[in-house]
Amino acid sequence: MITVAIIGFGNVGKHLYEAFSTLESCEVVAVFSRNQERFQSHTEIPVIRELDKLPEAAVTIIAVADDAIAEVSDTLPERNGLVVHTSGNTPMEAIATKHRRGVFYPLQSFSKRTVSFKEIPICLEAEHEDDYEVLTSLASQLSDRVFNIDSTTRAQLHLAAVFANNFVNHLYHVSETLLSKHELNFSLLQPLIFETAQRLSEMPPSEAQTGPAIRGDEKTIKKQLHLLEGTVFQSLYQQLTESIAQTHGKKL
C-alpha cells in the first residue's frame, strides 16, 4: 500500500485523485486545497485546509501552478515521505531542499474531460534511487508507460508538447475564426482534424505533410495570403508556409 497526499485540486490534482482512488494498493490520505468550492460534490475526499496539518504520506504530490511550486514546497513542513511536483516545465530543484525531492509528470493536457491514465506517459525523476522505486511502483499502477526523464530532458519534452498541444490548438482556433466569418460551422473540420491526428499512429508527420507549401504551389499560397489580407493571421500563414518549405527543402 502506497499512501499519497495531494496538494492542489485543479485539473491535474483532481484527475490524479480520481485515478489513485480506483487503485487497490494506493490510499489518498489527504487532499489540500485553498479553494473549498471545488469539493462541494466530493464529500468523500479527506480535505485538509491547512498545509501544516497534512498527514504523512509515502508520496506528497504538489499539483499547483508552476510558479507556486517553490512557495508551496517551502511552506510545507519537512516530511518523512517524498515530495514531488507534476510540472513538465519546472526543474525538480524548484522544490525546497528540506524535502526528499522528485517529479511525477503525466504528459497530458487535463481539462474537465475524463482521461484514461493507462496510455499516458508518466515521466519520473527522483534525487534518491530508493525514492525512484517508490515513484515507479506508484506510476506503473496508473500507466503502462513510465519513464525516467531528468529535468533537462523533461523541459525539451514540454517544449515539444507546447507545439503539439498549445500551438496546434491555436491553429484550430484560427480555423474556427476564419470559418465563423463566413458563417461556417467549425464541426465541418472535425473529421479532417481527427484524421490528421490519428494518421500519426501509422505514419510519421514528416511523411504525412501535404498542402500548398510542401508542393511549392505558389499560386495557391498567393491566393490564400490574399484571402487573409487585413487579418491578424496573414503573417502566421506566411511564417508556417515558409517553415514547411524550409523543413522540406523547398524554395518558395
Per-residue binding string, its own copies, 209-228, x by CB under 8 A, is xxxxxx--x-xx--xx--xx
d(CA 14, CA 215): 46
66-85 binders of its own copies (CB under 8 A)? 66-67
d(CA 70, CA 202): 41
Closer of 80 and 111 to its own copies (Cβ): 111
Piece of 13-21, 69-77, 95-103, 200-208 that binds its own copies (CB under 8 A): 200-208
Taking the complex as a whole, how short is the minimal distance between the CB of residue 204 and its own copies, in angstroms?
6
- Tell whether residue 176 is a contact of its own copies (CB under 8 A): yes
Helix (H) / strand (E) containing 138: helix 129-142
- With CB under 8 A as the contact rule, the residue among 92, 161, 250, 252 that binds its own copies is 161
Q: Is residue 125 packed enough to be buried (19+ CB in 10 Å), middle (13-18) or exposed (0-12)?
A: buried
d(CA 172, CA 190): 10
- With CB under 8 A as the contact rule, the residue among 23, 47, 70, 164 that binds its own copies is 164
115-144 binders of its own copies (CB under 8 A)? 115, 119-121
Closer of 39 and 237 to its own copies (Cβ): 237
| Half-sphere exposure of residue 166: CA atoms within 13 angstroms, side-chain side | 6
Q: What is the CA radius of gyration of the chain?
A: 22
Piece of 21-29, 55-63, 92-100, 159-167 that binds its own copies (CB under 8 A): 159-167
**16 to 73, 102, 132: CA distances (angstroms):** 19, 16, 18
Closer of 141 and 224 to its own copies (Cβ): 224
Cβ of 60: how many Cβ atoms within 10 Å? 28
Closer of 75 and 172 to its own copies (Cβ): 172
Piece of 32-40, 42-50, 73-81, 193-201 that binds its own copies (CB under 8 A): 193-201
Strand, helix or coil at 215?
helix
Closer of 102 and 212 to its own copies (Cβ): 212
d(CA 40, CA 7): 17
Taking the complex as a whole, how short is the minimal distance between the CB of residue 154 and its own copies, in angstroms?
10
d(CA 19, CA 197): 26
Piece of 38-46, 49-57, 131-139, 166-174 that binds its own copies (CB under 8 A): 166-174
- Tell whether residue 92 is a contact of its own copies (CB under 8 A): no
| DSSP strand pairing (122-126 vs 100-106) | antiparallel
